[in-house]
Structure 1
Amino acid sequence: MGRFIEGRGRAQGILLPEQLDDYVTESNPVRVVDVFVDELDLDKMGFDGVNPAETGRPAYHPSVLLKIYIYGYLNRIQSSRRLEREVQRNVELM
């Protein structure tokens, strides 16, 4: 993903005592959303920003933002401000 802001890996162990993946069950819907969005060809679907610009601050990859949006839709979170709070506190979204 080249010039995009990269998050920490899910296998990292410095944020919480254990790995983040350990806190999300195998049957959690966020795992399905993760795999589903990773399989999409966002460039063919017309998403802007899939190919990053060479200048300016790196953006978040559109697939990450789409995963957050789908999570909000599944959990009836319509406000972007509420989604932002969920991303900061909810281990499923980290």
Structure 2
Amino acid sequence: MIGERKVMQESLFYGFSLERHVPDNHLLRKIDRFVDLSEVRAHLEPYYSETGRPSIDPELMIRMLIVGYCFGIRSERRLCDEVHLNLAYRWFL
């Protein structure tokens, strides 16, 4: 069919905002206000090799360790699984 569409398609799609799905009073929001890891990457850059596979971002690693410590997740595998499932953890990372 050629011609102008009479039906609006916005109802078929929705916008998802991670910001809106993490409550304001969540523990990770409170921690995030005080944690500034923006300079960690630059500080640790001399210790990373130019050859080989890219490493894990040091800021991401530290944030994951904070999540694991705060929520009692001792296993790194379980922590990775939890980060995939929990929206608040993803927001913090």
Q: TM-score, normalised by structure 2?
A: 0.61
Query: 1:36-89: CA deviations, max 9, x gaps?
Result: 33257547xxx8xx3143232222221111111111111111111210110111
Aligned residue-pair number? 74
Instruction: Give the aligned partner of residue 27 of structure 2.
Output: 29
Give the Cα–Cα distance (whole angstroms) in 2 for the partners of residues 39 and 85 of structure 1.
23
Indicate conservation of the 8 Å contact 2:64/2:79, yes or no: yes
Q: Residue 83 of structure 1 aligns to which amino acid in structure 2?
A: L
For structure 2, which runs of at least 5 residues remain unmatched after alignment?
1-13
Instruction: Give the aligned partner of residue 52 of structure 2.
Output: 56
* Alpha-carbon distance, 1:35 to partner: 4.0
RMSD over aligned Cα atoms: 2.6
Give the Cα–Cα distance (whole angstroms) in 1 for the partners of residues 32 and 56 of structure 2.
15
What's the secondary structure of 1:32's corresponding residue? helix
Indicate conservation of the 8 Å contact 1:24/1:92, yes or no: yes
For structure 1, which runs of at least 5 residues remain unmatched after alignment?
1-15
Relative contact order, CA 8 A, sep 6+: which one is greater?
A: 2
Q: TM-score, normalised by structure 1?
A: 0.61
